[in-house]
Structure 1
Amino acid sequence: MDLQVLQCWHKRISQELDVVMDFWLRHSHDEEYGGFFTCLSQDGKVYDDLKYVWLQGRQVWMYSRLYRKVPRFRRPELLQAAQAGGEFLLRHARVSPTSQKCAFALTRDGRPVKIQRTIFSECFYVLGLDELGRATGELRYQREALTMMEAIVHWVREDHSELGRPDLTGAVPHDSMAVPMMLLNLVDQLSEGDAETANRFSELGSWSAQRIIMHVQRNGTAVLENVSEDGKELPGCMGRQQNPGHAIEAGWFLLRYAQRQLDSALLSQAVEKFMKQPFYSGWDSEHGGLFAFQDVNGLCPTQLEWKMKLWWPHTEAIIAFLMGFAETRDQELLKLFNQVAEYTFAKFSDSERHEWFGYLTQEGKVALTIKGGPFKGCFHVPRALYICEEILESLIREAESTSHD
């Protein structure tokens, strides 16, 4: 390990985390109703005051995690904002007192505007409230998170009728990788430092990991976004769809799970099949950056944004390659981390007005100047910077102790 390189990246990433968090602290807080504005223009002005439940939960998680884990962020205003966000979720996220179903979008004062027939609003509700409970020491947040988690598991594994998704005769039942990925991430969150909860969700963690692995298809040469419920390739565009960033994100989720389970075979599979392989097939050799979508047969994908470069696949790749390197010391992973990080900082980071752009053309030009919207909030960018800072600190400590021996 080159200590100087690690120190350089640590300094760069730490400074970027400070700048990114300052942007959200200055521009996103709704002091009147609680919660956060996420539809922010390039300079931080609010262009729409709708509040998206999954982004509220993500920002509560981000603030709470930084407050709890990073000494320089242990500031009262950060925890107060997280708690105001958590209370906003408790008051308004669920669309009915008799249901666990959460809205997708709310008005500024918390009235439901839109529901999605998925589990993701609820999943980020769990993520945010559990972390808020850890940061504040108030058990009521974690109790609420566990109650919602039980509802999510019921919808996924037993009865999805409350999601409002009818079973249509022409629809092929399928397994979307996003669902087991999200559940594995929640198991990781809820189990941290809690043997009883870890034991409670141990079977769910194993089930989720196995469901993710089912998406490795074509004799191990591709990760497909959707497969049949018994792990077979599906016909048509949906079956051929690849999402390189999603596969790489699944890779580091599986890596963390494999570390906890001491499962070296799964760890190797996470690195080789979910990190390296999707990267090499998904990287644009002409312009750099990861494609948003691909077709495994090389046909033109149907998603209009398929060849755009989106912020979040790159943040996931930065985490995955650095985490993979820290675990395996595979120099190829460190090289890939450098490659993606250099591209990402050069293209997405807005050095003038701070935070990151989210949407670039294939050539790497800014396509949308907004800093936040219905899908991009205070999460993927600061999460990647925080995790990478933590990993780099550990690698630097190790390198310094080795140099002193």
Structure 2
Amino acid sequence: MMVDAAKYQKELGRILSYWSTVAFDKTNDRFYGKIGNENQVDVFASLGSVLYSRILWSFCAGYKATQNEDYLQFADKAYEYLIDKFLDKEYGGVYWSLDSNGEPLDTKKQIYALSFAIYGLTEYYMVRKEEKALDVAIGLYMLIEQHSFDPVQLGYLEAFNSDWSSAGDLRLSAKDANEKKTMNTHLHILEAYTNLYRVWPESSVLKQIKQLIDVFINHIIHKETAHLQLFFDENWKSKSTIISYGHDIEASWLLLEAAEVTNDEELIAKIKEIAVQMANAAAKGLSGDGGLNYEFENGHLIEEKHWWVQAEALVGFYNAFQLTGDKVFLERFEKSWDFIEKYILDVDKGEWYWGVHSDYSLMQHEDKAGFWKCPYHNSRACIEIMRRIA
């Protein structure tokens, strides 16, 4: 079974074309904050720093993968807006959101948002060699270490007020538990630090990458099931029984990517084993049609197929195939793409739909572009498959 890299390069071009045309606000020289399923633009929508950081990463990574010069001008637009508008000049860090006029709206310091800013800025440094981008990324890393790192129990605290004082509401979104430590933020700190270490190979960053991997092994990955546990108190007591199949499969390959930058052969071998266990755990969420379900909560399977979960399934199952040579993983990968092509791609109006219900009807009231709906998961999946085939 041959995997066709050209198919994924074509899809990457389709995704980034949408973000450089439909999702770009020429009047204000920035990206829109919200676009609906039918490409209807909400000009009054708030703008998220995570959205901007992910757009920045996607155009930079897209350029690296294809050498398409057009992507650089949109990377520049995202970078300039992120630096000009989202950086908190008084207390440091990045704002969570801006209003539609580009003024600070929610000024809390979500460590998740700082992590994505590092991720986007370091990717921008790779393609533009812009020293300020790297300086800002290093500054954000130091703020995370200063305010969020828990030197006693290890790991990172979730969020703070704008002035770095303790916050009451730590949640990324209304669906999240209000807990001190979360799997999601730790996963994306790890992702950010991995990219930072590629361009700034400081021993302190390496130490934290290894410590983060240990946190996943010792606290976050369930010892018996190999599923991720999602929410914790500051002492790593688990506060949730929800299974997130998309995060399981995403973490399976991101953990290995992080281990590989350490050049620690013993650690890499250990994470390779864990990655396969996690891919098998995630596969318990697969439907017969090849789609990966969203979550399992309170004994109930949430049979929604979200775009990002399918994108991560592509990479995670292909990664597991590369590690094992087991054709079962290759088949899961192929069926994931078949499902995406059949139900998730909007071939007429561009980009990917948010998702479908169990009866394949569209999740109508979700974003095509927005606070959480960005080109990061799907463009990254295409780039990863292209890279791995090559």
Q: TM-score range by the shorter chain?
A: 0.7 to 0.9
Alignment of 1:211-230 (within 5 A): 211-213=215-217, 214-217=219-222, 219-220=224-225, 222-230=227-235
Alignment of 1:23-172 (within 5 A): 23-48=18-43, 49-71=45-67, 73=68, 75=69, 77-94=70-87, 96-116=88-108, 118-158=110-150, 161=160, 162=164, 164-166=166-168
> Matched residues in 1 for 2:143 and 2:95: separation?
15
Q: Tell me how many residue pairs correspond in the alignment.
A: 367
C-alpha spacing 1:324/1:364, structure 2 compared with 1 (3 Å): same
How high is the TM-score relative to the length of structure 1?
Answer: 0.82
- Specify every segment of 5 or more residues in structure 1 that has no aligned partner in the other structure, as ranges: 395-405
The offset of 1:173, in angstroms, is: 6.2
| Contact residue 33 and residue 109 of structure 1 kept, 8 A | no
How high is the TM-score relative to the length of structure 2?
Answer: 0.85
> Matched residues in 2 for 1:119 and 1:79: separation?
27
Q: Residue in 2 aligned with 1:265?
A: 270
**Are residues 1:180 and 2:186 paired?**
yes
Q: Residue in 1 aligned with 2:286?
A: 283
Q: Residue in 2 aligned with 1:399?
A: none
> Matched residues in 2 for 1:334 and 1:250: separation?
18
* 1:206-264 superposed Cα distances (whole Å, 9 cap, x missing partner): 111112222222634543222455545x3xxx421111101111111112123343221
Counterpart amino acid of 2:373?
Answer: K
C-alpha spacing 1:24/1:332, structure 2 compared with 1 (3 Å): same
**Are residues 1:368 and 2:364 paired?**
yes
C-alpha spacing 1:322/1:144, structure 2 compared with 1 (3 Å): same
Structure exhibiting the larger radius of gyration computed from Cα positions: 1
* 1:148-202 superposed Cα distances (whole Å, 9 cap, x missing partner): 111123332147651642499xx996531112211110121112254x33x3311
Counterpart amino acid of 1:141?
Answer: A
Percent identity over paired residues:
19
The offset of 1:124, in angstroms, is: 1.6
Q: Residue in 1 aligned with 2:11?
A: 16
Q: Counterpart of 1:201 in 2: which secondary structure?
A: helix
- Specify every segment of 5 or more residues in structure 2 that has no aligned partner in the other structure, as ranges: 151-156, 171-176
Alignment of 1:272-351 (within 5 A): 272=277, 274-280=278-284, 282-285=285-288, 289-295=291-297, 299-300=299-300, 306-351=302-347
CA RMSD in angstroms comes to: 2.6
Considering fraction of residues, name the structure with more helix: 1
Q: Counterpart of 1:251 in 2: which secondary structure?
A: helix
Q: Residue in 1 aligned with 2:196?
A: 190
> Matched residues in 2 for 1:336 and 1:354: separation?
25
> Matched residues in 2 for 1:32 and 1:132: separation?
24
The offset of 1:139, in angstroms, is: 0.8
C-alpha spacing 1:339/1:163, structure 2 compared with 1 (3 Å): farther
Q: Residue in 1 aligned with 2:255?
A: 254
The offset of 1:32, in angstroms, is: 4.3
The offset of 1:23, in angstroms, is: 1.1
> Matched residues in 2 for 1:354 and 1:18: separation?
11
Q: Residue in 2 aligned with 1:242?
A: 243
Counterpart amino acid of 1:374?
Answer: F
Q: Counterpart of 2:3 in 1: which secondary structure?
A: helix
Q: Counterpart of 2:369 in 1: which secondary structure?
A: coil
> Matched residues in 1 for 2:290 and 2:326: separation?
22
C-alpha spacing 1:365/1:153, structure 2 compared with 1 (3 Å): farther
